[in-house]
Amino acid sequence: MDKGKRNGNIYTIVYAALMVTLVAALLAFASQLLKPRQVANMMAETQQTILRSVHLEDQPYEKYITDTVAGPDQLPLFICTLDNGTRKYIIPLHGKGLWGPLWGYLALDDDFSTIYGAVFDHISETPGLGAEITTLFFSDPFRGKSLYHGDQFVSISVLKQGRSQNNPNAVDGISGGTLTSRGVENMIRESLKPYLPFLKHYE
């Protein structure tokens, strides 16, 4: 094709329109084709995270966990029935850290106060500092802590490292990750609030 024609306005516009339509169609087709597998991957990951909160990693999800809703507001709740028959109640958490969203799952004993397990995850917290909330080093100490002081709901405080010893309502934060630690503290309190009437109801 000669140079003059290739620089014409109409040629340029038609070329751009055709190309964009073709590429869009191709990508839409690929997306449709791959979607089921991607959704399955995402589901599998969520299920693994929920299982981690009750220390049942790599176990079949359907065997242990029942998805349900709590209270008149239809809040999501997962009930885990352990091999020995005891039930744990898993509440999803959502909040914000220093740089982006945080989320996690908190598993409670059937007194609705004692924490059985916790997992946390994030999108963009600082590696080595805030991002450490995903590690057992941070999440394991939640186990056995209590959401109530007497019959007052106090949630869990994330304190400066070393300050939480012998405190049943607090865990250690991460040195250098104070803002993310505080994000976790707020996330737990705010996410549990809507569940409180429901938890009381079960007491």
Partner 1 sequence: MNKRIFLDPLFKNNPIPVLALGICSALAVTVKLEPAMVMALSVTLVTGFSSMILSLLRNTIPNRIRIIVQLVVVAALVILVDQILKAFAWEISKQLSVFVGLIITNCIIMGRIEAFALYNKPFPSLVDGLANGLGYGIILIAVSIVRELLGSGTLIGYQVIPQQWYVANGGFYENNGLFILPPMALIILGLIVWVFNAKNAKRV
Binding site for partner 1 (CB under 8 A): 1, 3, 6-7, 11-12, 15-16, 19-20, 23, 26-27, 30-31, 34, 37-38, 41-42, 44-45, 128
At closest approach, how far in Å is the CB of 108 from partner 1?
28
Residue among 100 and 194 whose Cβ is closer to partner 1: 100
Residue among 40 and 196 whose Cβ is closer to partner 1: 40
Residues 6+ apart with CB under 8 A from 113: 146, 147, 148
User: Residue 181 phi/psi, 5° resolution?
Assistant: -60, -45
Residue among 42 and 69 whose Cβ is closer to partner 1: 42
Residue among 6 and 94 whose Cβ is closer to partner 1: 6
At closest approach, how far in Å is the CB of 189 from partner 1?
28
Is the CB of residue 172 less than 8 Å from the CB of residue 159? yes
At closest approach, how far in Å is the CB of 122 from partner 1?
12
Residue among 31 and 68 whose Cβ is closer to partner 1: 31
**Concatenated DSSP letters for 119-179?**
EEEESSPPTTTGGGGGSHHHHGGGTT-BSEETTEE---EEESTT--TT-TTEEE--TT-HH
Amino acid at 22: L
Residues 6+ apart with CB under 8 A from 100: 122, 123, 124, 125
Q: Label the pairing between strands 157-159 and 87-96.
A: unpaired
Amino acid at 8: G
At closest approach, how far in Å is the CB of 132 from partner 1?
13
User: Residue 21 phi/psi, 5° resolution?
Assistant: -65, -45
> What kind and span of H or E run contains 30?
helix 9-53
Measure the CA–CA gap between 168 and 75, rounded to whole angstroms: 27
At closest approach, how far in Å is the CB of 24 from partner 1?
9
Residue among 13 and 196 whose Cβ is closer to partner 1: 13
At closest approach, how far in Å is the CB of 96 from partner 1?
18
